C-alpha cells in the first residue's frame, strides 16, 4: 500500500450530487406548478401581500421619524415568507437585520419586531416565545449560533431544525465559512438561506465573489447547494421545506441561494442612485414575486375578486394597526439600562445606577 | 455573583499532596461535567490529546465526544457555536488554545457573548465560560504569551476572572462554569505547573466570583496584583523585608467584578500602593485600579499609586522577555519611589 491508497488521498464525499442546478429552480409558470396545493398558494399570496404592505408602512414610519432606520425587503418577500413557513413550531429562525418580514411571518408581534429599528431597545421579543433569535446586525455572526443551537438540540435528542438567513455580502465574512464548516462536520440540522439580492449596500455581487454561484460554495463544505429563483414563492417554499426535512431526518445541512433583487435602497438612509441605474431595476420589476404568484393563481382560477380584496383589506388592517401602535411613544425607563448587564450588577454598576437615579430625580424636580 | 457547589459525598481524610494548577483545573472541569449534564467542553485538541496544556486530559474518554469535543480549527466558530448551544440551554466551556489565538473570536465575544442578556432584556442569558491560557514567562514564540485581559475587562457584560493559586484554579473555575453570565477565565500559563498541597477529593471552599483576597498582610505599602504576577509580588514582599518595608499583597482574582471595597480598605491602611501586572501598562487594568484607588482613598494616600507593568511593546521574543516582565527588582524600585523621604 502506498500513501496514494490511504483515505487521506481519496475524496471524503462525492462532489457531484452536492452541485446546484445550473439554473435557478423555478415552479411558478411551469407544468409542475399544477401539482401545487391551492391552500399553500393562497397562504403564500396572503403573506406576500401583507409583507409588502409591512415594508411600505415601515418605510413610511422612517419618514415620520418613528423608526430610526428600515432596511426594506421589498422584492424579496418570497424568500422572507418561505423561510418562516418552511419551519415547524419547534424550529428556530436566525434572522439578519433585513429579515423583519420573516420574523413577523413566524408570529412575532409586528411592533415588537421593530424594536431594534425604532431604537427603544435592541430586541423587542423574547426569542423563546416563537423561537426566533434576535435580528443580527453584525453580518453572518448569527450563522454559527444557528449551528450551535441545532447541534445542542440534536445532542439533547430534540426534533429541532435551525434556519439561518444571510445576504450575499455576508457570504464573504469569515463567520459564514466557519458556520458552514462546523455544520457540515457536525452534520447539524441547519439550513442556510442566502438571499442574493445583488448588492451589499452599494457593492455588486461581482466584487464580492468569483464563485460560479453562491450555492456552489456548499460543495467545498461537503453539503448540497441549491440554487432557487428567490422571487418564486412556491419554489422557495418547496426547496426550503425539503432542506428543513432533510436536516430533520439526519441528512445534515443545506445551503440555499435565493436569486432575488433588492428593489429599494439599502435602507432609507441610502442613496442607490449613486451606484445603480434605474434601468437595472426594470427587468426585476417584471419578475415581481407577488405578480408571479398572482399569475399562477389566476391561471388556475384560484384568485377571484373576493380573495384579492380580502387579502388587500387584511394587509391594510395590519398596516393601520402598525401605524397606530407605532405612533404611540414607547414608555422607557432609563433605569432599565442597568437591569440586564449581568445577573447581578457589579459594585461599579451599582454606583452608576445611583448616579443616574439621582440625575433623573434632579430632572424631575427642575 | 455565583457560588458553585461541591459534588456531594466527599468524605474521609484525603492526603494533601502537592498538586499542580493544571490538575486542579482538570478536576474542576471533571466535577463540572459530572455535576451538570448541560456542561459541554469545546475546543481545539481538547479530545484525545487532552489540550496542549493537558487541562482537558481524560475528559473525552470519561464523558464521551459529545461532552468534550474536538472542533474544527476556528475560534470564531468555536465561540459562535457555543453561543448557540448556550441559547438552547447548555452550559458550554470553550477552550481557546492560547491568548493570541482567541482574537478571531473577538467579534463573537464583544458583539454577542457580552450583549445577549442585555439585548434580550434578560430573556436569553448566556452561561458560558471561555478559558484562555494567558501571559508569558514560558519561553513561547510570538503569539503565545499575550496578556489580553484589558480587551475583555473593557467589554461590559463579561466577567473576567484569573486564578493565581491551585486552590483558586479549582474554586474559581467551578464558580465560572456555574455562573449564569459569560466568564472570560484567564489561566496564567506559567503557573500551570505551580504546586500546592491540594487534594481533588477535598477542594478548597468555592468563593463567589468578585472577591479579592489579601495574600499577605503588610503595614507599610500594598502590592495589588492578579494571576501570573502574584508569586512575583509575594517574592518581592519577602525581599522588601531587607529594606525595612512590610509589604502587603492583594490578589484580585477577578478583574470584573472588581472588588473595590477590599482594595480600598487595604490601601487606606497602608497609604501606599503599587499595581503590578505583566500586560502593557498604557490603558491597562492597572490604570483603572490606580484611578479608582485615587478616587476612593485620596486623603489616605502618602504617595501617588504607581504601576509596574509590561512595557508598551508587542510581546517580546522569548530570549528577551525577562526584560519585559515585571520582576522583583522593578517592583522594589517602584516601592522605593513611594515618597518615603516625606514620611
B128 and B41 within one domain: yes
Range B160-177 average pLDDT: 96
Antiparallel, parallel or unpaired: β B195-197 and B18-20: antiparallel
Does a structural domain hold residue B62?
A: yes
Is the bond leading into A334 cis (omega within 30 degrees of zero)? no
B330 and B272 within one domain: yes
- Can you tell me the distance from the alpha carbon of A173 to that of A180, in angstroms, rounded to the nearest whole number? 11
- Can you tell me the distance from the alpha carbon of B338 to that of B340, in angstroms, rounded to the nearest whole number? 6
pLDDT at B8 over 80: no
B138 and B55 within one domain: yes
Q: How far apart, in Å, do the first and last CA atoms of chain A sit?
A: 88
Question: Can you spell out the DSSP letters for A187-252?
Answer: T-SEEEEEEE-SEETTEEGGGT--SS-STTHHHHHTS-EEEEETT-HHHHHHHHHHHHHHHHTT--
Residues of A with a known catalytic role: 262, 266, 275
Domain locations in chain A as residue ranges: 3-332, 333-366
B173 and B79 within one domain: yes
Cβ of A346 and B108 within 8 Å? no
Q: Look at residue A7 in the predicted model and tell me its pLDDT.
A: 80
B230 and B187 within one domain: no
Q: Look at residue A70 in the predicted model and tell me its pLDDT.
A: 96
- Can you tell me the distance from the alpha carbon of B80 to that of B85, in angstroms, rounded to the nearest whole number? 9
- Can you tell me the distance from the alpha carbon of A150 to that of A147, in angstroms, rounded to the nearest whole number? 5
Range A298-321 average pLDDT: 96
How confident is the prediction for chain A on average, in pLDDT?
Answer: 96
Crossing angle (nearest 10°) for helices A77-85 and A233-248: 30
Does a structural domain hold residue B279?
A: yes
- Can you tell me the distance from the alpha carbon of A91 to that of A131, in angstroms, rounded to the nearest whole number? 7
Cβ of A340 and B80 within 8 Å? no
* Per-residue pLDDT band at B7 (split at 50, 70, 90): very low
**What does the pLDDT look like over B32-67, one tens digit per residue?**
999 999 999 999 999 999 999 999 999 999 999 999
Q: How far is B83 from chain A (nearest CA, A)?
A: 6
Q: Look at residue A11 in the predicted model and tell me its pLDDT.
A: 84
B231 and B106 within one domain: no
Listed in sequence order, the DSSP H helices in B89-184 are 106-108, 116-119, 149-153, 166-178
Residue B68, strand partner residues: B41
Range A309-333 average pLDDT: 96
Dihedrals φ, ψ of B26, to 5°? -60, -40
For B160, the closest chain A residue by CA position comes to A346
Using a CB–CB cutoff of 8 Å, tell me whether B76 touches chain A: yes
Does a structural domain hold residue B13?
A: no
Q: Please name which of A201, A172, A208 lies closest in space to residue A275, comparing C-alpha atoms.
A: A201
B94 and B68 within one domain: yes
Helical (H) or strand (E) element with B268 = helix B260-270
**What does the pLDDT look like over B123-142, one tens digit per residue?**
999 999 999 999 999 999 99
Q: Please name which of B283, B285, B286 lies closest in space to residue B273, comparing C-alpha atoms.
A: B286
pLDDT at B13 over 90: no
B250 and B127 within one domain: no
* Per-residue pLDDT band at A288 (split at 50, 70, 90): very high
Q: Please name which of A268, A295, A283 lies closest in space to residue A198, comparing C-alpha atoms.
A: A283
pLDDT at B4 over 50: no
Range A61-77 average pLDDT: 95
Domain region containing B275: 213-342
B173 and B37 within one domain: yes
Cβ of A122 and B119 within 8 Å? yes
pLDDT at A75 over 80: yes
- Can you tell me the distance from the alpha carbon of A304 to that of A309, in angstroms, rounded to the nearest whole number? 9
Count of structural domains within chain B: 2
Q: Look at residue A222 in the predicted model and tell me its pLDDT.
A: 97
Dihedrals φ, ψ of B254, to 5°? -140, 125
Given B167, B197, B227, the domain boundary residue is B197
Tally C-beta pairs within 8 A across A and B: 143
Does a structural domain hold residue B204?
A: no
* Per-residue pLDDT band at A8 (split at 50, 70, 90): confident
**What does the pLDDT look like over A105-151, one tens digit per residue?**
999 999 999 999 999 999 999 999 999 999 999 999 999 999 999 99
**CATH architecture type of domain A3-332:** 3-Layer(aba) Sandwich (3.40)
**What does the pLDDT look like over B275-318, one tens digit per residue?**
999 999 999 999 999 999 999 999 999 999 999 999 999 999 99
Q: Look at residue A151 in the predicted model and tell me its pLDDT.
A: 98
Does a structural domain hold residue B8?
A: no
Amino acid at each position: 500500500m502506498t500513501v496514494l491508497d490511504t483515505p487521506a488521498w481519496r475524496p471524503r464525499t462525492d462532489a457531484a450530487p452536492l452541485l446546484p442546478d445550473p439554473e435557478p429552480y423555478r415552479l411558478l409558470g411551469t407544468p409542475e406548478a399544477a401539482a401545487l396545493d391551492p391552500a399553500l398558494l393562497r397562504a403564500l399570496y396572503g403573506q406576500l401581500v401583507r409583507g409588502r404592505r409591512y415594508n411600505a408602512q415601515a418605510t413610511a414610519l422612517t419618514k415620520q421619524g418613528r423608526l430610526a432606520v428600515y432596511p426594506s425587503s421589498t422584492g424579496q418577500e418570497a424568500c422572507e415568507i418561505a423561510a418562516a413557513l418552511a419551519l415547524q413550531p419547534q424550529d428556530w429562525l436566525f434572522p439578519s437585520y433585513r429579515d423583519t418580514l420573516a420574523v413577523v411571518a413566524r408570529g412575532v408581534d409586528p411592533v415588537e419586531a421593530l424594536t431594534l429599528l425604532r431604537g427603544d431597545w435592541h430586541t423587542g421579543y423574547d426569542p423563546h416565545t416563537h423561537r426566533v433569535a434576535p435580528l443580527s446586525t453584525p453580518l453572518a455572526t448569527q450563522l454559527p449560533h444557528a449551528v450551535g443551537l441545532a447541534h445542542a438540540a440534536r445532542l439533547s435528542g430534540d426534533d429541532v431544525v435551525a434556519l439561518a438567513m444571510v445576504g450575499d455580502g455576508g457570504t464573504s465574512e469569515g463567520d459564514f465559512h466557519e458556520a458552514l464548516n462546523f455544520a457540515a462536520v457536525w452534520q447539524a440540522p441547519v439550513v442556510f438561506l442566502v438571499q442574493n439580492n445583488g448588492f451589499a449596500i452599494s457593492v455588486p455581487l461581482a466584487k464580492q465573489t468569483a464563485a460560479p454561484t453562491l450555492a456552489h460554495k456548499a460543495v467545498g463544505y461537503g453539503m448540497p447547494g441549491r440554487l432557487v429563483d428567490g422571487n418564486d414563492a412556491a419554489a422557495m417554499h418547496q426547496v426550503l421545506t425539503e432542506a428543513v426535512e432533510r436536516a430533520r431526518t439526519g441528512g445534515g445541512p443545506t445551503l440555499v441561494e435565493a436569486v432575488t433583487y433588492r428593489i429599494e435602497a439599502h435602507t432609507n438612509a441610502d442613496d442607490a442612485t449613486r451606484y445603480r441605474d434605474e434601468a437595472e431595476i426594470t427587468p426585476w420589476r417584471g419578475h415581481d414575486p407577488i405578480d408571479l404568484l398572482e399569475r399562477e393563481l389566476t391561471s388556475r382560477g384560484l384568485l377571484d375578486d373576493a380573495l384579492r380584496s380580502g387579502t388587500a383589506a387584511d394587509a391594510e388592517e395590519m398596516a393601520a394597526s402598525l401605524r397606530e401602535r407605532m405612533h404611540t411613544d414607547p414608555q422607557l425607563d432609563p433605569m432599565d439600562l442597568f437591569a440586564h448587564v449581568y445577573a447581578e450588577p457589579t459594585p461599579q454598576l451599582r454606583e452608576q445606577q445611583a448616579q443616574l437615579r439621582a440625575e433623573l430625580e434632579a430632572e424631575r424636580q427642575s | 455573583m455565583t457560588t458553585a457547589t461541591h459534588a456531594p459525598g466527599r468524605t474521609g481524610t484525603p492526603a494533601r499532596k502537592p498538586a499542580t494548577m493544571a490538575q486542579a483545573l482538570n478536576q474542576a472541569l471533571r466535577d463540572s461535567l459530572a455535576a451538570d449534564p448541560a456542561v459541554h467542553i469545546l475546543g481545539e485538541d481538547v479530545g484525545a490529546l487532552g489540550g496542549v496544556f493537558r487541562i482537558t486530559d481524560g475528559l473525552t474518554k470519561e464523558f464521551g465526544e459529545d461532552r468534550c469535543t474536538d472542533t474544527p480549527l476556528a475560534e470564531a466558530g468555536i465561540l459562535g457555536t457555543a453561543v448557540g448551544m448556550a441559547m438552547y440551554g447548555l452550559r458550554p466551556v470553550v477552550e481557546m488554545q492560547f491568548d493570541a489565538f482567541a482574537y478571531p473570536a473577538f467579534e463573537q465575544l464583544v458583539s454577542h457573548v457580552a450583549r445577549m442578556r442585555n439585548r434580550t432584556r434578560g430573556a436569553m442569558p448566556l452561561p458560558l465560560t471561555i478559558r484562555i491560557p494567558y501571559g508569558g514567562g514560558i519561553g513561547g514564540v510570538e503569539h503565545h504569551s499575550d496578556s489580553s485581559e484589558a480587551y475583555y475587562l473593557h467589554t461590559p457584560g463579561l466577567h473576567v476572572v484569573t486564578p493565581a493559586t491551585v486552590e483558586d484554579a479549582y474554586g474559581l473555575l467551578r464558580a465560572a462554569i456555574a455562573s449564569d453570565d459569560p466568564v472570560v477565565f484567564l489561566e496564567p500559563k506559567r503557573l500551570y505547573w505551580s504546586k500546592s498541597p491540594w487534594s481533588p477529593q477535598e477542594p478548597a471552599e468555592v468563593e463567589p466570583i468578585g472577591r479579592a483576597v489579601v495574600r499577605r498582610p503588610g503595614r507599610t505599602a500594598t502590592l495589588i496584583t492578579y494571576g501570573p504576577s502574584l508569586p512575583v509580588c509575594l517574592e518581592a514582599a519577602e525581599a522588601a523585608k531587607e529594606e525595612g518595608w512590610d509589604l502587603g499583597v492583594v490578589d484580585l482574582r477577578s478583574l470584573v467584578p472588581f472588588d473595590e471595597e477590599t482594595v480600598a480598605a487595604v490601601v487606606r491602611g497602608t497609604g501606599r500602593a503599587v499595581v503590578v501586572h505583566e500586560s502593557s501598562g498604557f490603558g491597562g487594568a492597572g490604570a483603572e485600579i490606580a484611578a479608582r484607588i485615587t478616587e476612593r482613598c485620596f486623603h489616605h494616600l502618602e504617595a501617588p499609586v504607581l504601576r509596574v507593568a509590561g512595557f508598551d511593546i508587542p510581546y517580546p521574543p522569548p530570549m528577551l522577555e525577562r526584560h519585559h516582565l515585571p520582576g522583583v527588582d522593578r517592583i522594589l524600585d517602584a516601592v522605593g519611589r513611594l515618597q518615603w523621604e516625606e514620611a
